[in-house]
Amino acid sequence: MKLILKNIITDQHDFDKIDQLYQRAFPDNERAPIDTLLEKAKEGKGEFLGIYDDQCWVGFVYVITYQQLSYILYLAIDEQYRYHGYGSALLQKMQKRYDHTIMLCIEEVAPHYENYEQRVKRKQFYMKNGFQDMNFYFYEYKVRYEMLYYGQYMESRYFDELMYFFAGEQYKEIREDDDVA
């Protein structure tokens, strides 16, 4: 496996595949408009990266970096390449690429959710790859998330600063502070 990350802003060769995977992998209420993601990446506020095994496209990742924090906003491996080690290999590559704290959020893991087993497996995957539980929960668009991190623990306010850098005033509308646990 020879994992390569390509900036899709400068190399849009597989953009249609990335867009289709984005639509399949994330529910409507969890997807930012793809044009917004592209615009933010062009502004230097995010990295929209295609994931390749040598020259074979296998997925994408969207990362926001602000100061000493990188946040994986989206990560998806195409269905035909899942369970082949690409997700773990990508996380290892990310841990070397960003030599500071990395955060990501997952849907809250609790037994009352219909897809509880899927959520458990997702969390186990990240924990197996060195991420730790921050014990920080928040709501966006009525979806409850929990935050995981790799590297040095940072208070949740650093995440808020990163998201404000990325989304500006709109972040205040997205984040439902009243329901933060």
- Residue 57, beta-bridge partner list: 52
Supply the pTM of this predicted model. Answer: 0.91
Q: What is the CA radius of gyration of the chain?
A: 16
CA diameter of the chain = 46
Confidence at residue 49, expressed as pLDDT on a 0 to 100 scale: 96
Residue 99 burial (10 A CB sphere; 0-12, 13-18, 19+): exposed
- Give the whole-angstrom CA distance, residue 81 versus residue 163: 30
Q: Give the fold, CATH level 3, of 3-179.
A: Aminopeptidase (3.40.630)
- Spell out the per-residue pLDDT of the chain, length 181, in tens: 899 999 998 767 889 999 999 999 999 988 999 999 999 999 999 999 999 999 999 999 999 999 999 999 999 999 999 999 999 999 999 999 999 999 999 999 999 999 999 999 999 999 999 999 999 998 887 889 999 999 999 998 899 899 999 987 666 666 654 344 4
Q: Using an 8 Å Cβ cutoff, are 134 and 101 in contact?
A: no
DSSP 16-64: HHHHHHHHHHS-GGGPPPHHHHHHHHHTTS-EEEEEEETTEEEEEEEEE
Domain ranges of the chain: 3-179
Name the CA dihedral angle for 47, 6, 149, 141, rounded to a multiple of 10 degrees: 50
Token duo for residue 135: 């014990």
Number of residues that make up the chain: 181
- Residue 132, beta-bridge partner list: 149
Confidence at residue 36, expressed as pLDDT on a 0 to 100 scale: 93
